[in-house]
Structure 1
Amino acid sequence: MNDPGLHEPAQDAAQDVEKNTHKEDEEAIREERTFLDPSRYWFASTACPLIAGTFGPIANAFSICALVEKWRIYIPPGADEGHGEKVEDPKWLIAVNSVSLVFALAANISLLLNMTRRLSFAIAQPITIVGWFMASFLLIALASVASTSIFRIQPTSEHALSQAFYYGIIAAALYFIIASLMIFTVVGAYQGHYPKEFRLTSSQRTLMLQTISFMFYLLVGALVFCKVENWNYLDAVYWADFTLLTVGVGGEYVPKTHTGRSLLFFYAIGGIIMVGLVIGSVRSLVLERGKEKMSARFTELKRQKVLRSVNHDKQTIKLGLFEKTSFANEGLDESQRREQEFRVMRRLQHKAETKRRYTALAISSTAALLLWLLGALVFMHSEKPQGWSYFVSLYFAYTSLLTIGYGDYTLSSNAGKAFFVFWSLLAVPTLTILISNMGDTVIKAFRDLTIWIGSLTVLPGEHGIGSTLRIGMERLRHGKLYNPKEEDKEGQTIGASEQAIINRLEDHIEEDELEEAEEAGEHGDYLERDIHFYHYILAKELGKLTKDIHASPPRQYTYQEWNYYLRLLGQDENDTTLHRKPKAHQNRRKGDKPDLGTADDGVNSRWSWLGIRSPLMGTQNEAQWLLQRMSLTLERELQKQRSPHAKKEPPPISMADLRRKKGSSSSESDGNRELRENVGAAEMRRRGVNDSV
């Protein structure tokens, strides 16, 4: 019978280790599921609520504009509809318009409370969806009636509909769109594709708050200036919009009083700052979520296509339309095969990222082009009384989108002014995303070309013009991501890889914090010495990874660095029992699912560099992947160390192994002479220290 006093601590230690193992397994499964989920789940779970939370306040602002002004105007002889006289609305229109705004505000408040977790998903979403649909239907009904002869005063040549009518139409369309998007979110949540809650990041929440603040600032500023300058309120809204967005279309709407001009100093700078904050948030969202998700999906699609292209007869693998490379599984040892997979995967990564960048540029360019062309089409029809052609409308839309604003053409119709406010607000995220994508592609290529031309002319590099030309030709031949120096590093022999590990360990040996390990070695307890040494190195490497985790662009490690880190994690690249090859397409039986490298054995998860569990795949960057697993490894090791009854096992690295590797390096080629000299110098610096190996 076991003594409970000894049995329970050992059992607790075993349970702690098992708990960490399950934690690592669950985290890996969660990452894999997140990566493999189709993009529509991310769109439904995150993008739809974000769009609704951002455009909801804009729609509310337009509803207010539709309520505060009359919907009909009388046009005096010799005037245009922009200078008409207001005609009183029937009370039923004001009542229905007010009810619509109440429904919309309730829907928006319900969504915000749900996002801040003040209201449950099951209660908030029906209120949000029904509220926006009701607001939309009521405004659509009003606009339909207002367009008929029942509402409009005859003759129509002397009467027109005001800006408020058109703001009501825009608000109705926005309510209908965002309510429909929220239906996708609710359906996906109840089907179990994602949790029934919104897990928005701080930048996503910030964007919604900034949008609300900007619209409030615009409407309040318009109210102040309409009183100071004696403008109609909706004309003041139009003025505030093109002022805060720095379009400056000119015309008659400019401050003419000393009070108005004085207030403009503060109002304009405050609005420009708020617009800048919104632009920064939009760009952050594109880089934070959209770019990450697109990159992950493109990499996965490219990986599956490459695996299907393996030709075992010719021992090749197809990486692109005109690019093949050797890919042989026979005649190579485990480490050589793993390094081959790593190099293929790294090249695959680069090609997928290039495709992602140019696809994003194509999508954003198309969106901006449609905004320009369709906007010009609307302006052409709205400004028919001025005789605008489509070319003139294109010219006006172009100068407005780029915030040039010459002022030689100005809007005079009520429809054109109302549409301009919505169109210009829509241009802010559209052009922000386009410029961000151009920065990753066209602007970056132009910058690199400028630097390269400069190195050939006025700013030659340290290696001379000839070397610069040669490197430039290599980049043109292999693509801008190609780096000959990195290829040389990855082409090192396995012996050099082992030596790189030794050099990393040598850096740690010189530290004073290894006294416990040395003391244990002096007493002959070599296992305890190696365990202390292993724990110390894990802690030091965690500090280095923490610095890499925020690097921009994300840090990409060489194969030798990965070899070192994986050994620390107990996943030695030379150990054939820890990894497995991905099945080639030709070797799979009909009906088999593609091998995605799913792990099935807990801590020492078996994966391939070309598998879905590869550290080069997924939504985490390489430093995050290593930091997470190294933290769990250190936590697991310290838990075993704290328990006196836990079984002690030799760590994956040891001082004895270091000494043995260093001694065997004397038979290596002259190419490693510098590495051996560094080891010898380190030995001289440590002279007098007994490591008791």
Structure 2
Amino acid sequence: MNDPGLDEPAQQAAQDIEHNVYEENRKLAEEEEQNFLDPGRWWFASTACPLIAGTFGPMANAFSICALVEKWRVYIPPGSDEAHGQNIKDPSWLLVINSISLAFAIIANMALLLNMARRLSFAIAQPITIIGWYMSSILLIVLVALASSSVFRIQPRETHALTQAYYYGIIAAALYFVVSSLMVCTVVGAYRGHYPKEFRLTPSQRTLMLQTISFMAYLLLGALVFSTTEGWRYLDAVFWADFTLLTVGLGGEFVPTTHTGRSLYFPFAIGGIVMVGLVVGSVRSLILERGKQKMSARFLETTRQTVLSSLDTDERAIKLGPFQNVKYSEKGLSESQRREQEFRIMRRVQEKAERNRRYVALAMSSTAALLLWLLGAVVFMHSEEPQGWSYFVSLYFAYTVLLTIGFGDYTPSSNSGKAFFVFWTLLAVPTLTILISNMGDTVIKAFKDLTIWIGSLTVLPDEHGAYTALKIGIKRLKFGKLYNGDNQGETPPGTSVESSLDRLAELVEEDELAEAEEAGEYGDSLLRDIHFYHFVLAKEIRILMREVNASPPKQYTYQEWSYYLRLIGQDENDASRHRKPKIHRRHSNRRSFDLGVADGGEKGDGKPFTWSWLGIRSPLMGSKTEAQWLLDRLSATLEQEMRKMRSSDEKLRSEPPPVSMADLRKKPSNSGSDQEQLLEKELSAAEMRRRQRNGG
């Protein structure tokens, strides 16, 4: 008979643990769903807008400095051109307004950086940033408007021109207006509650901002040094430093001629090229890190909804594409077979969505690069009209610059052409980096696969022979997929932290297995199975820790998923935990399934969510990799098991685990999943170690 004074608290403790388990799973699922379904526009406002502002803001500051350091007007002597004109003193009001504009911009930039470093609150920093940049833009626009009027221009205009500083002012004004408008979008989204009033930039995003600031400072300081040693005008030195660091090498009039300049050129060039390489690497990692992730999520969800809308019970088929129909019928299938059918369709949806994403990303980046080339050629044609550049010549020049070939047969000589060249080439760095990255995922990868396949058929046949290679090639063409075995990828070596965690998990394994062996010797099969279950969890966690960083991310088979889900208490044969398809009628009396929505109890009622492999709560739908998803769930399950062991409720502690040592030993040696066979081998090795310790 139970003591009523102790039984009620124990039952309450058990209920609390079960409630916490369901609530933790619910919170984890809701967080993953929110991250996955987060609308792209609000991700753009919360992350991309401040990142762009933090990157292009310092660039606008650099152009403001260029607009301040030189005069805005020149006199063109007979037989000369505007690039070699004589400077005319500017009115004092122009210098004052220009300086105030730069001061506003620097304050705005500092407020943004302090906010991102969490040294200044969002509510204080953002008004300073937005107002400061808008004021800088307005003041420069006023200056540009006055400089374009008869109030500032000297007649006749044939013998007077505007310098590069004037055109840098135009570019800076436009950039300030754009970045401040982007920050308005960020503030609006934050105050509407779509994301917290703070910046959650990753280390790579912060690094890109710092690298951009460092590169612009390096460019301007290097130009100052070479303008002094070579006797160039400062903005001409900026033009030279730009095409030098970006390895375009136009040559022409601006080349180092002094021994000092040539000596300084060695460290300056190599340092700048390294910095450009770092910026390129950061841009590429950002595209792979967040942009690709968000785009993949959008395409996967859109493809999933399209495929589900084509599922019809009358035809017993589901449409994956214009010419791809897959049989889908639940008639006569067990629960596990029905779930496996959903899993296989979801895998096909994943493949189709990823293929579409790659080629849409390639189309978008190709369009951006094409516009940069074609529109840039238009600007160069008009700016270099005194040189007689046609549109074809401008296209030819822009093409050689974008590919960093730089023959040097055509070089901008006008003030507007030089200023635009600096901005245009800096804009080309991220544009072409993204294009090359997307080409690496599509065109270059396809060419590489084709080359390897042709080699396997001709001069370099693989170990399977030419006939097998031919069949694999046909499958690639048919299904649009690279068949590479089990797609496990290569796991990079772990860090010292990962090695420590691996060692810790190994110790947990040894302890739990020893406890299981000891309980088995005393005939306590329940305690033996509980410790064995803990041993299995620890062992699988250690394996997943190695696979979580695999590249490409590992994809598990349905049998592997079924095994792992059983470990976390979600048996694929248990229909009570699965999302049941809701049948509704469409036009022409046809019926279709609705598997796309998560189902379950209300929030806080302690009931688990039910889910489908084709639903939004599917593990294949999240932004996490499959290994990361499983690692999180197995770790949470092991933590919950430890809580149960510490609980004072005997009933809770005596619950049988989802796997047992007896069930494993009952199976034939050639049956079960790969994981179960490995566990069986591990058990045999453990028993051998125990017998050796006991003397045979």
Query: TM-score, normalized by length of structure 2?
Result: 0.90
**Equivalences for residues 633-648 of structure 1 within 5 A:** 633-645=637-649, 647-648=652-653
Matched-pair contact (CA < 8 Å) for 1:309–1:585: no
Matched-pair contact (CA < 8 Å) for 1:598–1:613: no
Query: In structure 2, what is the Cα distance between the partners aligned to 1:32 and 1:678?
Result: 33
**Does residue 1:608 correspond to 2:612, yes or no?**
yes
Deviation at 1:110, TM superposition (A): 0.7
Query: In structure 1, what is the Cα distance between the partners aligned to 2:689 and 2:382?
Result: 90
Deviation at 1:541, TM superposition (A): 0.7
**Does residue 1:362 correspond to 2:366, yes or no?**
no
Q: Which amino acid aligns with 1:573?
A: E
SS at structure 2 position matched to 1:311:
coil
Query: In structure 1, what is the Cα distance between the partners aligned to 2:156 and 2:377?
Result: 29
Deviation at 1:468, TM superposition (A): 1.3
Cα 1:109/1:457, change in 2 over 3 Å: same
SS at structure 2 position matched to 1:92:
helix
Which is worse superposed, 680-689 or 96-105?
Answer: 680-689
Matched-pair contact (CA < 8 Å) for 2:308–2:594: no
SS at structure 1 position matched to 2:469:
helix
Give CA-to-partner distance per residue, 1:34-72, whole Å, 9 cap, x none.
Answer: 222221010011000000000000000000000111000
SS at structure 2 position matched to 1:577:
helix
SS at structure 2 position matched to 1:437:
helix
**Does residue 1:659 correspond to 2:665, yes or no?**
yes
Cα 1:180/1:687, change in 2 over 3 Å: closer
Deviation at 1:606, TM superposition (A): 1.4
Cα 1:257/1:684, change in 2 over 3 Å: closer
Residue 501 of structure 1 corresponds to none
Give CA-to-partner distance per residue, 1:596-631, whole Å, 9 cap, x none.
Answer: 224547574311000000000021110111111111
Matched-pair contact (CA < 8 Å) for 2:98–2:139: yes
Give CA-to-partner distance per residue, 1:289-345, whole Å, 9 cap, x none.
Answer: 000100011000110111110110111000111101011122100000000000000
Cα 1:221/1:37, change in 2 over 3 Å: same
Residue 380 of structure 1 corresponds to 381
Query: In structure 2, what is the Cα distance between the partners aligned to 1:376 and 1:31?
Result: 46
Residue 348 of structure 2 corresponds to 347
**Equivalences for residues 130-141 of structure 1 within 5 A:** 130-141=131-142
Deviation at 1:15, TM superposition (A): 3.8
Matched-pair contact (CA < 8 Å) for 1:310–1:584: no
Residue 119 of structure 1 corresponds to 120
Deviation at 1:22, TM superposition (A): 2.1
Residue 498 of structure 2 corresponds to none
**Does residue 1:650 correspond to 2:656, yes or no?**
yes
Query: In structure 1, what is the Cα distance between the partners aligned to 2:469 and 2:260?
Result: 61
Residue 71 of structure 1 corresponds to 72
Aligned residues: 664
SS at structure 1 position matched to 2:87:
strand
**Equivalences for residues 499-578 of structure 1 within 5 A:** 514-578=513-577
Query: In structure 2, what is the Cα distance between the partners aligned to 1:523 and 1:438?
Result: 63
Query: In structure 2, what is the Cα distance between the partners aligned to 1:13 and 1:270?
Result: 64
Deviation at 1:255, TM superposition (A): 0.3
Cα 1:676/1:147, change in 2 over 3 Å: closer
Residue 172 of structure 1 corresponds to 173
Query: TM-score, normalized by length of structure 1?
Result: 0.91
Residue 49 of structure 2 corresponds to 48
Matched-pair contact (CA < 8 Å) for 1:583–1:595: no
Matched-pair contact (CA < 8 Å) for 1:25–1:602: no
Which is worse superposed, 544-553 or 231-240?
Answer: 544-553
Matched-pair contact (CA < 8 Å) for 1:250–1:407: yes
Cα 1:655/1:594, change in 2 over 3 Å: closer
SS at structure 1 position matched to 2:576:
coil
Residue 456 of structure 2 corresponds to 455
**Equivalences for residues 267-306 of structure 1 within 5 A:** 267-306=268-307
Deviation at 1:30, TM superposition (A): 1.4
**Does residue 1:619 correspond to 2:618, yes or no?**
no
Matched-pair contact (CA < 8 Å) for 2:220–2:238: yes
SS at structure 1 position matched to 2:124:
helix
Residue 490 of structure 2 corresponds to none
Structure 1 gap segments, 5+ residues each: 487-506
Matched-pair contact (CA < 8 Å) for 2:510–2:535: no
Give CA-to-partner distance per residue, 1:512-568, whole Å, 9 cap, x none.
Answer: 862211211222221111110001110111111111111111111011110110000
Residue 328 of structure 1 corresponds to 329
Matched-pair contact (CA < 8 Å) for 1:380–1:388: yes
Cα 1:603/1:459, change in 2 over 3 Å: farther
Which is worse superposed, 37-46 or 518-527?
Answer: 518-527
Structure 2 gap segments, 5+ residues each: 488-505, 692-696
Matched-pair contact (CA < 8 Å) for 2:54–2:209: yes
Identity fraction in percent: 67
